[in-house]
A and B are shown apart, each in its own frame.
Chain A
Amino acid sequence: MNWLRDFVRPKVKKAVSTKDIADNLWCKCPACGQMLFSKELKKSMYVCTNCDHHLRLYLDKRLNMLFDNGEYNEISLPKIKDDPLKFKDTKKYTDRLKAYRKETGREDAIIVAQGDIGGVTSVIAAIDFNFMGGSMGQAVGEGIVKAAEIAIKGKCPLITVAASGGARMQEGMLSLMQMARTTAAVNLVKENKLPFISILTDPTTGGVSASFAMLGDVHIAEKGCLIGFAGQRVIEQTIREKLPAGFQRAEYLKEHGMVDIVVRRDEMKDELVKVISILMHKKPNLNRLALK
């Protein structure tokens, strides 16, 4: 046996690479650049332990965090005809859809779920930023419409969680029309005197901010998130000036009267429970904590 040729690698790698901490043991904070240990990050609900930056949160984690005991029923959404315009830029829209579906395991950029929040049965419609930047096309619009229907039927509050760059350009005018459709949907909830709470997370811009997301009875924004109508690059090109510090951040919007409450991620559930329980005239059930 030649010790040079038949060198046996130590089996450290195998010992470490269990499913849990598979590919990203470490994660870099996009704000301060600090390397963060994945396990720590999970514990802190994806908030940087160094600079307190709130990283973007996966949707299932968001829902776990908001619903009591992390329990909820996902509601199936009507199937939408793909690619009504037969849109092709550098790539076919259908190919893009396929790729995102494979990557995220979801049909489109929205989840509608029903469950208890502080003991009050509620409907959440949440946008998945990981699916084409959370862009709003027909499927997202249909999801909001469906969520509103269920909320009205069940006489429960509607909560939307926005995380979107805006309209889905590949669906052209059909995506613009979702601004009117989603507005009509949340308007029906409001007319039925049911609370509509809009949660704004990073980022909420374009067609989503200029429709249902800005029409809540109460607006709760996550600390530091970007909220605005026009993109920062477009504004810079228009006015040819540097943008002020903190521009279009949650705190800036609160200062300008567009947001009611700015919260840290770990405070969001409590704030939501408070608001819903007060508006629904119910005593909050605080024993049912969120799964962290």
Chain B
Amino acid sequence: MDKKDTMVLDFEKNIVEIEAKIGALKLLAEDEAVNIDDELSRLQKKLEKQLISSYANLSPWQKAQIARHPDRPQCLDYVNALIEDFTPLCGDRRFADDETMIAGIGRFKGVSVAVLGQQKGKDLETRVKYNFGMAKPEGYRKAQRIMDLANKFSLPILCFVDTDGAYPGVDAEARGQAEAIAASIEKCLQMKVPVVSTVIGVGGSGGAIAIATANRILMLENSIYSVISPEGCASILWRSADKVKEATEAMKLTAQDLKKLKLIDEIITEPVGGAHRDVAYMVEKVGEAISKNLNELLKFSGEDLKKQRTEKFFTMGRNLDK
């Protein structure tokens, strides 16, 4: 990796060291005529091994860190690569346009669709622009507006969930953050078109479920989805922010745990080392998974889709082994 400001996670240190050695070796070979092939292939093998062993047994806390990685592909990475003729639509027609909530229409593998998702931003400037991925009531009301549009024109809705949560602020409360989320969940349930939601990074509580009350809920291998942030849980239940690792463990927020609890439908495998190590591959994989699920859903009538969605949520929790 040449990006010097890339964040290195604790368990990635070994990997970064080997990568640095490979980089130095390559540089050396450019200057002098030495044969580095043997050494290079040895290091490459070591790197692969290290990647696999580092990523084979990630703890929930390590997964949370990957889910929050600043280089992790975000909503617009998927939208730009997967949606042809993407046309962003703006505003809730009541108050403002919330840029955090990406919303629009386009074509996904030839099918007209509507798209929703939260964008977090990748550097300081864009993070401020996207309010760190925390949508305000106008964002959720924009989502509702787009859902109505999708329903009217029979466009399946694809959601890319990536938020630490809905924005907690005085202005958001004044404009009814609670109502905006509640109404958004309700709108999802009323849709007579397929709704496929993919948790691509962090699924943070009410702000996430507002656009994840879907027919199919997919999660990336290292993404997380939880009722409260691990930090919030630790400070409330343990009364200490230091207990964040224990909290993350207890909360069962990984894709694997949630699949076991039958709360999500499918896990999308990430490249070894996490989605941020091969964005193009990740985008393609996500596209395939959405396409497969969408094609299955397109066989059903609108009424059936709505019924199935409601039934799906009624069944949750009841279907666990007693």
Contact = CB atoms under 8 A, between A and B. Distances in A.
A21 interface: no
Contacts of A145: 314
A183 B169 contact: no
Nearest to B320: A84
Interface in B230-286: 232-233, 236-239, 246-247, 250-253, 258, 261, 263
B238 A89 contact: yes
Contact of A228 (B178, B263, B316, B317): B178
Contacts of B297: none
Interface stretch (A3-11, A29-37, A150-158, A234-242): A234-242
Contacts of A84: 261, 317, 320
Contact of A176 (B166, B183, B205): B205
B100 to A, nearest CB: 15
A173 B227 contact: yes
Nearest to A168: B227
A206 B186 CA distance: 16
Given A176-B205, A215-B182, A239-B170, A184 B189 contact: yes
A172 to B, nearest CB: 5
A136 B247 CA distance: 19
A211 B185 contact: yes
- The secondary structure that dominates the B interface is helix
Contacts of B238: 89-90
Interface residues of A, number: 56
A170 B209 CA distance: 18
Interface in A157-177: 167, 169-177
Interface string A197-221: 0000000011101111111000000
Nearest to B208: A176
A215 B183 contact: yes
Interface in B188-240: 188-190, 205-206, 209, 213, 225-228, 232-233, 236-239
Nearest to A167: B227
Nearest to B224: A173
A257 interface: yes
A235 B179 contact: no
Contacts of B226: 172-173, 176
A239 B173 CA distance: 12
Nearest to A78: B318
Interface string A243-265: 11001100000001110000000
A229 B170 contact: no
A187 B181 contact: no
Contacts of A177: 209, 263, 313, 316-317
Given A207-B206, A215-B186, A88 B250 contact: yes
B175 interface: yes
B231 to A, nearest CB: 11
A238 B317 contact: no
A241 B173 CA distance: 15
Given A181-B316, A258-B178, 11 more contacts: A85-B250, A85-B261, A176-B227, A180-B189, A183-B182, A209-B182, A210-B185, A215-B179, A230-B166, A230-B172, A243-B170
Interface of B: 166-170, 172-179, 181-183, 185-186, 188-190, 205-206, 209, 213, 225-228, 232-233, 236-239, 246-247, 250-253, 258, 261, 263, 310, 313-314, 316-317, 320, 322
Ranked nearest first, the 5 interchain pairs of A and B with the lowest CB-CB distance are A230-B168, A209-B178, A89-B237, A229-B178, A229-B177
24 contacts: A81-B322, A84-B261, A85-B252, A85-B261, A90-B238, A138-B317, A169-B227, A172-B250, A176-B226, A179-B185, A180-B189, A180-B313, A184-B314, A187-B310, A205-B178, A206-B206, A210-B178, A211-B181, A211-B206, A214-B176, A215-B183, A229-B173, A230-B172, A238-B169
